[in-house]
């Protein structure tokens, strides 16, 4: 009779997808769910586990999660004592204690390394995968720093069945999220993953992903767990560049207690983030965005979370959210003026670009007068990887302005070659005064062409390690990395033109050249001290943050969020001018409208630029703070 009962129990478990958990743990149900990668639905599935005490919170085994990224990879799981497991992946080791709910690794960066998908054997560093740049090595001081996560304060449980260790899906996704934008989310129906180095939300990869999230209510267990996991992720993986309103409080006590420092507003944000009402959750995330506003690297407001938040898509959720924001916007404004800042900066940026258009002509990328040429590009994010990959694979032509659109490197090379071949040109000014950032690979390649080397300095906020990532560039673009690249030289006086709108990589580029001794003209750049990466909430939303994996530094080891000082100030903030900028009238007709702003006309006066560069390259370096003729 006893044997018959065991057989019946086994068949019931097998047929219904349930299994008894280990002693002292809850029972669970396993589900196979579809997986969508940014190459589309490939028919693969993944096994998720749902425990009866939190039936809406997805768990996945550590070994299965790794296989989502690298199906051929094996993770060995070995119980070393009761409830304690050693996890060994191809890139590192970690220990998970499912009784104490802790997770530790002597080298967390190695254990979570997915960058081998980008370049064979690459450590967990910063590289975008453009073929004309290659990662060489990572120098870290100290070389290795142990990391340990205590999940108990966040009410996060690790689970096991004696053979495998199970993490909440959102937790392990955030632990693995890196600087290449590798990240994944589960929306209750499917897993969607981003393999591509573009800051795409999961809804861009799979337009149906958002539909799985549109519900007016959130399950209570999932809503509460989402809040706790959000606290864990931001406490450990946010880069804290320095300007965000919550910076000081986060450094001392973490998100949950830091919200208490903001009185009624903080309490309201916390309440909304835990709410089972989706519109209230959106409103809480809007408040969190205000607290974490850092100039443009962190986006967690609902429009970004959902990709498209419209009345047609979200119905009553949209109306509720709009109404709630109408009642709390002033309160949110008391902790951060990011809305007004963004609006003012955008208007000022449009005005600055219009002044430049008036001087150079709309869309001009290269202009010359006398001994000075100017190269203009507004983003390091314009990169036509398909064209470059085809060229390096031998299946396409060398990318030029004539055959390749939307590529900053093409624009830069065109200007560089034209200036070098023109016997009149002595100076090349790289105008990034309206450049809001983008790919570090383009920065590294351009810096290499100017200085002969490319190194990126940053610190890991979680470990405290100071890192230098060293790259090499195919400087003659012959498709081979070899000694002939070192022979490439450009006999030009280089300078960089920046403004307060030069942000992120538009701040990194002048930082590196300033360290190398090249003159910076215009106005102190706008900062932006961190690389960016994605996190995912437990209910499936992905959002962008200043990454704690890479807080950017100058050569002296100082955070660069305050911007890069100039050697020649060209902005006259005491003089205001009125110009015409593009806009719309009350009837939504496209018109040119008057706008009053600071006088940036000297930025785009080539005679002024020529005088400044010639003086800075003539005056002894100790007089101007630059190394003339830098190599």
Place of tokens 């997770």: 103
Q: Residue 356 is part of which domain span?
A: 348-450+490-529+561-624
Interstrand relation of 102-105 and 93-97 (parallel, antiparallel or unpaired)? antiparallel
- Residue 602 DSSP one-character state: G
Which among 511, 521, 493 has a CA at the least distance from the CA of 628?
493
Which among 510, 506, 507 has a CA at the least distance from the CA of 494?
510
Based on the fold, state whether residues 436 and 574 are members of the same structural domain. Answer: yes
Q: What is the average per-residue pLDDT within 339-351?
A: 72
pLDDT in tens, 566-617: 999 998 878 899 888 887 777 777 788 888 889 999 999 999 999 999 999 9
Based on the fold, state whether residues 331 and 361 are members of the same structural domain. Answer: no
- Which of 305, 336, 367 terminates a domain? The answer is 336
Q: Is residue 148 part of a domain?
A: no
Lowest mean pLDDT among 42-56, 129-143, 363-377, 613-627: 613-627
Q: What is the average per-residue pLDDT within 499-528?
A: 96
Phi, psi of 498 (to 5 degrees): -125, 165
CB neighbours (10 Å) of residue 162? 12
Kindly tell me the number of DSSP H helices and DSSP E strands found in the chain. Answer: 19, 26
Q: What is the average per-residue pLDDT within 231-258?
A: 96
Place of tokens 């986006």: 299
Q: Is residue 221 over pLDDT 50?
A: yes
Place of tokens 């070393």: 80
Q: Is residue 133 part of a domain?
A: no
Per-residue DSSP letters for 288-335? HHHHT--SSS-B-SHHHHHS---HHHHTHHHHHHHHHHHHHHHHHHTT
Nearest-10 Cα torsion for 473, 477, 481, 484:
-100
Q: Is residue 536 part of a domain?
A: no
Q: Is residue 165 part of a domain?
A: yes
Polymer length in residues for the chain: 631
Q: Cα separation of 527 and 554, whole Å?
A: 12
Place of tokens 């899906």: 169
pLDDT given for residue 199 in this prediction: 81
Phi, psi of 279 (to 5 degrees): -65, -40
Which among 278, 168, 269, 286 has a CA at the least distance from the CA of 213?
278
Based on the fold, state whether residues 356 and 440 are members of the same structural domain. Answer: yes
Q: Is residue 18 over pLDDT 50?
A: no
Q: Cα separation of 486 and 491, whole Å?
A: 14
Lowest mean pLDDT among 411-415, 466-470, 556-560, 575-579: 575-579
Q: Is residue 623 over pLDDT 90?
A: no
Which among 23, 43, 21 has a CA at the least distance from the CA of 32?
43
Helix, strand and coil percent figures for the chain, each rounded to 5: 35, 25, 35
- Residue 75 DSSP one-character state: -
Is residue 531 within 8 Å of residue 556, measured between CB atoms?
Answer: no
CA dist 422 to 215, 519, 608, Å?
A: 62, 22, 20
pLDDT given for residue 8 in this prediction: 36
Q: How many domains are there within the chain? A: 3
Helix (H) or strand (E) holding 442: helix 440-451
Q: What is the average per-residue pLDDT within 533-544?
A: 94
pLDDT given for residue 619 in this prediction: 55
Q: Is residue 2 over pLDDT 80?
A: no
Six token digits for residue 570: 């060209």
The CA angle 256-262-266, to the nearest 5 degrees, is 55
* CA atoms 617, 623, 624, 628: torsion sign: positive
pLDDT given for residue 24 in this prediction: 40
Q: Cα separation of 434 and 420, whole Å?
A: 25
CB neighbours (10 Å) of residue 550? 26
pLDDT in tens, 35-66: 999 776 677 999 999 999 999 999 999 999 99
Q: Is residue 608 part of a domain?
A: yes
Q: Is residue 477 part of a domain?
A: no
Q: Cα separation of 137 and 456, whole Å?
A: 11
Based on the fold, state whether residues 236 and 168 are members of the same structural domain. Answer: no
Q: Is 67 exposed, middle or buried (0-12, 13-18, 19+ CB in 10 A)?
A: middle
Q: Cα separation of 427 and 491, whole Å?
A: 9
Based on the fold, state whether residues 496 and 589 are members of the same structural domain. Answer: yes
Q: Cα separation of 261 and 257, whole Å?
A: 7
pLDDT in tens, 278-323: 999 999 999 999 999 999 899 998 767 766 555 566 678 878 888 9
Q: Is residue 200 over pLDDT 50?
A: yes
Q: Cα separation of 45 and 117, whole Å?
A: 20
Q: What is the average per-residue pLDDT within 24-31?
A: 81
Q: Cα separation of 328 and 297, whole Å?
A: 24
Place of tokens 């969020």: 561
Based on the fold, state whether residues 259 and 315 are members of the same structural domain. Answer: yes
Q: What is the average per-residue pLDDT within 14-38?
A: 68
Q: What is the average per-residue pLDDT within 174-183?
A: 96
pLDDT given for residue 310 in this prediction: 56
Q: What is the average per-residue pLDDT within 449-455?
A: 95
Give percent above pLDDT 90 in the chain.
75
Is residue 500 within 8 Å of residue 526, measured between CB atoms?
Answer: yes
Six token digits for residue 157: 């449980």
- Residue 397 DSSP one-character state: P
Based on the fold, state whether residues 423 and 304 are members of the same structural domain. Answer: no
- Which of 312, 336, 360 terminates a domain? The answer is 336
- Which of 281, 312, 336 terminates a domain? The answer is 336
Based on the fold, state whether residues 61 and 41 are members of the same structural domain. Answer: yes
Helices 263-274/278-291 angle, 10° precision? 140
Based on the fold, state whether residues 34 and 164 are members of the same structural domain. Answer: yes
Six token digits for residue 181: 């934008």
Q: 3-class DSSP state for residue 500?
A: coil
Based on the fold, state whether residues 515 and 370 are members of the same structural domain. Answer: yes
Lowest mean pLDDT among 68-77, 221-230, 335-344: 335-344
Mean pLDDT of the chain: 90
CATH number at residue 584: 3.90.226
Based on the fold, state whether residues 327 and 358 are members of the same structural domain. Answer: no
Which among 546, 529, 531 has a CA at the least distance from the CA of 233?
546
Based on the fold, state whether residues 166 and 223 are members of the same structural domain. Answer: no
Is residue 44 within 8 Å of residue 147, measured between CB atoms?
Answer: no
331 falls in which pLDDT band (50, 70, 90)?
Answer: confident
Q: Is residue 460 part of a domain?
A: no
Q: Is residue 587 part of a domain?
A: yes
* CA atoms 106, 107, 108, 111: torsion sign: negative
Q: Cα separation of 473 and 392, whole Å?
A: 13
Is residue 509 within 8 Å of residue 450, measured between CB atoms?
Answer: no
15 falls in which pLDDT band (50, 70, 90)?
Answer: very low
pLDDT given for residue 433 in this prediction: 97
344 falls in which pLDDT band (50, 70, 90)?
Answer: low
């Amino acid at each position: 009779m006893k044997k018959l009962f065991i057989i019946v129990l086994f068949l019931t478990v097998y047929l219904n997808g349930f299994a008894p958990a280990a002693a002292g743990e809850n029972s669970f149900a396993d589900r196979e769910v579809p997986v969508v990668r940014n190459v589309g639905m490939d028919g693969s599935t993944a096994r998720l586990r749902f425990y009866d005490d939190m039936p809406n919170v997805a768990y996945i085994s550590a070994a299965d999660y790794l296989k989502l990224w690298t199906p051929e990879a094996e993770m060995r799981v070995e119980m070393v004592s009761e409830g304690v497991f050693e996890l060994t992946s191809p890139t590192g080791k970690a220990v998970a204690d499912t009784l104490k709910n802790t997770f530790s690794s002597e080298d967390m960066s190695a254990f979570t390394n997915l960058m081998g998908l980008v370049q064979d054997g690459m450590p967990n560093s910063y590289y975008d995968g453009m073929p004309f740049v290659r990662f060489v090595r990572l120098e870290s001081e100290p070389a290795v720093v142990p990391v340990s996560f205590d999940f108990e304060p966040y009410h996060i449980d690790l689970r096991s069945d004696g053979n495998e260790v199970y993490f909440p899906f959102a937790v392990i996704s955030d632990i693995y999220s890196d600087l290449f934008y590798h990240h994944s989310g589960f929306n209750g129906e499917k897993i969607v993953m981003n393999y591509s180095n573009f800051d795409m939300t999961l809804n861009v990869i799979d337009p149906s992903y958002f539909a799985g999230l549109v519900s007016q209510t959130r399950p209570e267990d999932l809503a509460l767990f989402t809040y706790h996991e959000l606290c864990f992720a931001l406490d450990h993986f946010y880069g804290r560049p320095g300007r965000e309103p919550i910076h000081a409080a986060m450094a001392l006590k973490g998100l949950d207690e830091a919200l208490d420092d903001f009185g009624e507003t903080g309490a309201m944000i916390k309440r909304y983030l835990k709410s089972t009402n989706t519109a209230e959750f959106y409103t809480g995330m809007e408040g969190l965005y205000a607290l974490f506003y850092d100039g443009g690297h962190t986006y967690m407001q609902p429009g970004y979370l959902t990709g498209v938040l419209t009345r047609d898509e979200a119905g009553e959720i949209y109306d509720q959210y709009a109404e709630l924001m109408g009642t709390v916007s002033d309160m949110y404004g008391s902790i951060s003026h990011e809305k007004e800042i963004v609006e003012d900066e955008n208007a000022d940026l449009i005005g600055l670009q219009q002044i430049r258009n008036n001087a150079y002509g709309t869309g001009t990328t290269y202009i010359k007068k006398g001994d000075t040429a100017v190269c203009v590009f507004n983003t390091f994010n314009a990169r036509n990887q398909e064209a470059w990959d085809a060229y390096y694979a031998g299946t396409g032509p060398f990318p030029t302005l004539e055959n390749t659109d939307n590529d900053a490197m093409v624009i830069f090379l065109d200007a560089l070659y034209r200036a070098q071949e023109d016997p009149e040109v002595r100076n090349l000014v790289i105008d990034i005064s309206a450049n809001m950032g983008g790919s570090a690979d383009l920065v590294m390649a351009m810096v290499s062409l100017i200085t002969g080397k490319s190194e990126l300095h940053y610190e890991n906020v979680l470990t405290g390690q100071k890192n230098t990532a060293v790259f090499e560039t195919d400087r003659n673009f012959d498709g081979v990395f070899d000694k002939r690249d070192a022979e490439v030289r450009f006999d030009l006086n280089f300078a960089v033109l920046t403004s307060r709108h030069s942000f992120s990589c538009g701040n990194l580029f002048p930082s590196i050249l300033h360290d190398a001794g090249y003159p910076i003209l215009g106005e102190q750049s706008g900062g932006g001290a961190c690389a960016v990466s994605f996190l995912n909430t437990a209910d499936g939303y992905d959002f962008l943050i200043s990454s704690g994996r890479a807080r950017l530094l100058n050569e002296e080891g100082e955070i660069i969020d305050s911007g890069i000082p100039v050697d020649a100030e060209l902005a006259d903030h005491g003089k205001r001018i009125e110009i015409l900028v593009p806009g719309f009238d009350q009837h939504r007709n496209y018109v040119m409208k008057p706008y009053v702003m600071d006088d940036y006309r000297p930025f785009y006066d080539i005679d002024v630029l020529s005088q400044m560069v010639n003086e800075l390259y003539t005056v002894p370096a100790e007089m101007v703070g630059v190394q003339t003729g830098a190599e």
